[in-house]
Amino acid sequence: METSEELNFLNILLPLAGIIFLIVLGVIFMYQQFRKNIIRQQLEREEIKNQYQKELLHTTIRVQEDERKRIASDLHDELAAALSIGYMQLTQLEDEKEFNPQKIAQVRELLQTTLASTRRISHELMPLQLSRLGFEKALLSLLEKAESVQPIQTNMAMSSNCDELPWIIEVTLYRMYSELINNTLKHAGATTIDISILRKSDQLFCRYADDGKGIPEKLLHKGLGLKNIESRVQTLDGKLEFGNSDEGGFYCKIIVPIETNNQK
Amino acid sequence: MDYKDIVFLYTNFSLFIAFVIVLRNYLQFPKELKVISWYVFLSVIIQSSSQYLAFQKVNNLYLLHFFVPISFICFSIFYQKVFESFLNRYVLWLIMCLFVVFSLLNSLYWQTIETFNSYALSLESVLLIIYSLSLFALLLNESVRIEKKEILSSLRWINAGILIYYTSGLLIFYFGDLLTRFSKVRFEISWLFHSFIYIVQFICISIGLWKHPKN
């Protein structure tokens, strides 16, 4: 009797134990598969990230080199040429030993042109408007220039607490907006440009939008200008999002932390 | 009101809530929740048919032979979609096909359509317990939680409903044959418990569907 009861008990309990064992085995198998795939995905993500960082670095270096080349050529073609002509004219004046007001006027004119070139080059190196007028007015002046070049309507909204931003943020944003406006004027065929800059506690929310034809999908991640903007945002530890809006046209959103850039 | 009527009422009510949520939001659901909606539709059809047949005093056990493989297909597709990037998709498809074949053979030869298909139900429960426990284990990983963040809450509730129902149900399905041999009262108590976990399952599913990503 006891053996029969024990047998009954075993008949019920053993398969149940088997089922629980099966469940545990199944979960372990699934978990192993998950782990393998998660690690693989993480490695792939790291690889993409590294590749992207490399591309950004290359872009930064290329942009720097292009800028150096441009400055070198400006200095060589404009300043050096003008100064060597001035030098020759002054040497001639020295040899003539007679007072020649016409030649002196020529030298003065040449020096004036050289001075204007120097101003232009230095302005391109460091936007003078930014230090003279301040961030908001410098941006407004950029937009006014755009309006004078093409029939385009521009709107700008900036929150009142943006007047004491770190210099590095102001310069970087000024350059980015300059690049974006340039792109719109060159390629978009837009009729309006909207800029908004909003400061909320420790972050700056910047938006740029136009109503042009947008950016072709294939150029979305390849354009040098946009990569340049990406690398600039990265130097500020900011976040960047850009693309074509649902209504058509290009948009770009930038979020910049203010506090971390204060120490730069 | 008899306690059976109360259970009957609450079972239908919990199913009705899930059904209304599905009808209201089906088009906004992501693919995973759409599959769960099919399961809710299936449950409504089976539940109403079985009650109609019971009212007509006709044996309705054969409905369970259709319900088990189809519900397993729904849940397999659900888990296949959730595990999509973490598990070879053919693993779940293979298990699903093998289960459907087993269920068919079981209904044809071992536990015919007029009897309770406890083997198929038990196997379905074992497989779904494995899937649901695996999903909870998967959701422990932070990168997965970030990837699924929009649907995370829905997944947790639905998965909890499945785990609660099939874990508790497994014992009833496993001891199904044995229970019929005991007194009628014990049998009824066990099925009362089954109705209770069925209600819990649909409450969890309803909450999961309600918490679907709104954008």
pLDDT at A1: 47
Pairing of strands A203-210, A192-200: antiparallel
Please check the confidence at residue A148 and state whether its pLDDT lies above 50.
yes
C-beta separation of A194 from A209 below 8 A:
yes
Give chain A's mean pLDDT. 83
Give chain B's mean pLDDT. 88
CATH number at residue B205: 1.20.1070
Nearest to A23 among B129, B141, B175 (CB): B129
Closest among A139, A144, A224 to A174, alpha carbons compared: A139
What is the ipTM metric for this complex? 0.83
Structural domain range at position B157: 3-210
Please check the confidence at residue A97 and state whether its pLDDT lies above 90.
no
Tell me whether residue B215 is in a domain: no
Nearest-CA distance A260 → chain B (Å): 26
Contact A30 B143 (CB under 8 A): no
User: Helix (H, G, I), strand (E, B), or coil: what is residue A189?
Assistant: coil
Confidence band (pLDDT; 50, 70, 90) for A72? confident
pLDDT at A243: 86
Tell me whether residue B39 is in a domain: yes
Written as six digits, the tokens of B73 are 């297909």
Confidence band (pLDDT; 50, 70, 90) for A118? confident
User: Helix (H, G, I), strand (E, B), or coil: what is residue A209?
Assistant: strand
Please check the confidence at residue B45 and state whether its pLDDT lies above 90.
yes
Residue found under tokens 């959701």: B139
- Domain tally for chain B? 1
Nearest-CA distance A27 → chain B (Å): 5
Tell me whether residue B77 is in a domain: yes
Nearest-CA distance A26 → chain B (Å): 6
Residue found under tokens 């309705």: B60
Q: What is the pLDDT of residues B48-101, one digit of tens each?
A: 998 888 888 888 888 889 999 999 999 999 999 999 889 888 899 999 999 999
Nearest to B138 among A22, A34, A42 (CB): A34
